[in-house]
Structure 1
């Protein structure tokens, strides 16, 4: 896929619950969308929406996104590790709940993830993420809209 003018919204699509919100919002701003997922997830391309499916190895989606992302692209992921490396490449990164990941806070998030994994290895239980609500979807769409408006109006997020 050739680099489109303007930002591309690249989605870590394996477990992304807001794909429809991303596609609908991108259409309003004439942005292209790239959904990247393993072959385990069936997805269909649409106008201005490309789908790339990779093998199911644990980091295949992340590696594809890392190799494809360019400065100014928008990446949607809930993976702190992926967020960290694409931030370093100049991407704008949002979680599927609309949280904007920043260079200034990603180290803390990575450290917290590591601590939670350490506790799980010791047999301690931790809660998973709460179920997505309609409010979460609306909030995500508002955050994405704001980022796209700022890029369109000012050339910066």
Structure 2
């Protein structure tokens, strides 16, 4: 069964996820370290995990498979989910793929080293309307592709 797993603690596109999921009749699990308000809807569930380091990431990665779409900005979680066969989309709408994840992991490591050395300060660029629009499109396209693929696997 196709489902959406959301690394929700800092996710800026939860409302967009609900909108697309409801249109496609796809379940959504909001995973966080503390309670987050979710809509009262049969397709949405909240999973509050411990506040332990990477607890939400571990919960998502353990359930990621070829029928999951994982929403996360966390590059290391994206890598784990891709290795499990899931589709992965960043909140900016950028899909993580097996072809792009190696570069993303390497860039993350370089940036962490530069920040640790004081060479770079600040964080990612501000989230924009274009990011939100790109995300909506990427999630919709991914769900359409997974639904087609699932339909092709089912016996007639």
1:92 matched residue in structure 2: 87
Structure 2 unmatched runs, 5+: 152-156
Higher alpha-carbon deviation: 93-102 or 133-142 = 133-142
CA RMSD of aligned residues (A): 1.6
Q: Give the structure-1-normalised TM-score.
A: 0.89
Q: Relative to structure 2, which stretch is displaced further, 116-125 or 91-100? A: 116-125
2:38 corresponding residue in structure 1: 44
Whole-Å separation in 2 of the counterparts to 1:82 and 1:109? 12
Quote the residue 2:116 is aligned against: 121
2:154 aligns to what? none
Matched residue pairs, number? 150
* TM-score using structure 2 length: 0.89
Aligned to 2:100: 105
Task: Encode CA deviations 1:73-112: one digit per residue, 9 max, x unaligned.
Answer: 1000000100101101100000001111111111111111
Q: Report deviation, 1:154.
A: 4.2
SS at match of 2:70: strand
| Contact 1:116/1:126, CA 8 A, preserved across alignment | no
For structure 1, which runs of at least 5 residues remain unmatched after alignment?
A: none
